[in-house]
Amino acid sequence: MDGLYGHTRLLAISCCAFEFLMGICAFIKPCQRFMAWAFPAVMAFFVYITYINYTDLYGGIESCGCFGELIHFTPASSFYKNIVLLGLSLILLAIHLWQAYKRHQS
């Protein structure tokens, strides 16, 4: 993983841009089918990342920086926030699948 150290800024900007584009795509009708699947996948990734930070035995990061300098989350609160968001995204996926099933039945 040390080879990625020189690319952290690019990776951070790409991650933020990807999240922003996902938010825009959520409002575009043709993208909604893909986004219903993408949201839980991305949230599962973030749950994994925050779990790694939460269980870091060496101290890790004191604030996740999720909202910049405005709101400071501890690694534990960031992990639990992502668990809640993962649950909500799974509910969104279930609603999408239920609506697709109902459309298929009629």
For the stretch 48-77, pLDDT in tens is 988 887 887 666 677 766 676 777 778 888
Mean pLDDT of all residues in 39-56: 88
Show the tokens assigned to 82: 């992502």
DSSP string, 7-22: GHHHHHHHHHHHHHHH
Q: Where do the domains of the chain lie?
A: 2-105
Show the tokens assigned to 13: 């900007």
Q: Where are the alpha helices (DSSP H) in 1-106?
A: 8-25, 32-54, 75-105
Percentage of the chain modeled with pLDDT above 70: 88
* pLDDT score for 5: 74
CA angle 78, 33, 88 (to 5 degrees): 30
